[in-house]
Structure 1
Amino acid sequence: MNNLQDQGISGVPIEIEGVSKIFGPELEKPFRALKEVTLSIKAGEFVSVVGASGCGKSTLMLMVAGLLQATTGRISVDGKPVTKPLTDVGIAFQDHLLLEFRTAMQNVMLHADIRKLPRRQIEERAKDLFAQLRLERAMDKYPKQLSGGMRQRISLIRSLVHDPSVLMMDEPFGALDALTRLQVRMDLEALWMRRRPTVLFITHSVEEAVGLSDRIIVMSPSPGEVVDDIRVELERPRPITLGDAPEFGAYVDRIHHHFERLGVLHGMGKLPQHA
């Protein structure tokens, strides 16, 4: 672990072994959200999970975070079994979940106060993160005074302010317009490269996954299972215009072909026929 820290990697490994999830197992017709999933994520890796809505990717993230119990299998983070909600983790969702009656800085510091972290140290880190994201003037503003992109970046600051070893993100850019998504993607990559926490990133966007990830896990429709594990060999930092690299298109096509084969995407002339 010391060697990893010397290289600027603050993340820890995640092991997912034969993990499945069934909702309502006591019911006559239980819902199987996730088949047995086995994944090994290295310390400091940025791993995205892509798949159709309802394929179990968010369920998988919640189980890794300890917020949902697996039906079968075993999950460990930094070699320790996950049996309760993790503390050394940052989580960001599509909804920024900022409190409207608190300023941006107060929203970030609330996270630290709940965790009973050293306030002065956390406040200094928060100011540094605000500066990195060019949001110094937003610190004393309320959420309603900020754009959607600014609110989402403040949510990102809140998830990173305690310097977690693991960052989990569930469609964090889903509500943003295309240009703002691009800026926040670049901001996230820059922040991640500074400390290299282990990232589990849930997204519907194939292009976003390729633009951010070291690896992309492709999931089948429900009940979800892993159909491909793709290592992305693109230089960092990634360029603003990803489509200029032929390798980028090859990764996107590979994932789209999986979705077409699985019936998630339908090509011309392949629409379902109705009577």
Structure 2
Amino acid sequence: MLTSRRPSLGVVPARIDIGHGQEARRKLAHDGAVVLTGLEATADAPVVAAAAVLGQRLRQVFPLRQRQSQDGNPVHLHADSFDIVVDMGGVPHRRRDPDEDYVLIQCVQPPGSGGDSFLADAYRFVDDCTATDPDLWEFLTQADVDLYGAWGGLRGLPATPRVGRHVEYTRTGRRIVRRTDGAAPLHRDPDAEHIQTMLARFQETVRDMEGTLPRFRLAQGEILILDNYRCWHGREAHTGDRIVRILTLRSSDAR
């Protein structure tokens, strides 16, 4: 493993008023993230924000999730994705999707202290690996893993392994860079030991990068919109109560 220090791959999203949807759309496409201002901290606001920024590209919205934490531990860099289908009255309903391509995080109540957010440009991370760690680049782009195998005991997760690579492309050529703690070697993969070693190396490299990233704080009502295929997100530890709402969705550009 090469140990040369990476330049910061951080993203500091521009703050744009909800009334300027086209500008927000442009910045989201350019930077991979944007913060929408001028919104009340209501449960309707994330859906309104998604429609304002994505417009007719909005295809599927998943159930809104509220997260409350008290004196919370750090949340490390990750991209949102999960694979949950539930049975409701005999009809299957998808509640999460492995290929969610946008994430909205609404600040309902900021914590007393700490809890600053940070973002990394995963496209630049992968491109940088070609020089700083070619073996990791080869693993991310060439190796199949079970994307949620480490979470196999969770209720509702399908028994069928979800096989994929950390770096893939949609049919239109849009790049996906995944980052999840759920990845595991495929069952009886002859390269399982190598896969496990590279998963640990991937995590160590990403964790080491977190300290180089710029921080920013969301105010009450503000909504962070992320290109989930491109940007990884995390936050620092905090004291006091922190409440956010999270909306994941699929656009017409999703895989």
TM norm structure 1: 0.25
- Structure of greater relative contact order (alpha carbons < 8 Å, 6+ residues apart): 2
The structure carrying a bigger strand percent of its residues is 2
Structure holding more helix per residue = 1
The structure whose Rg is larger is 1
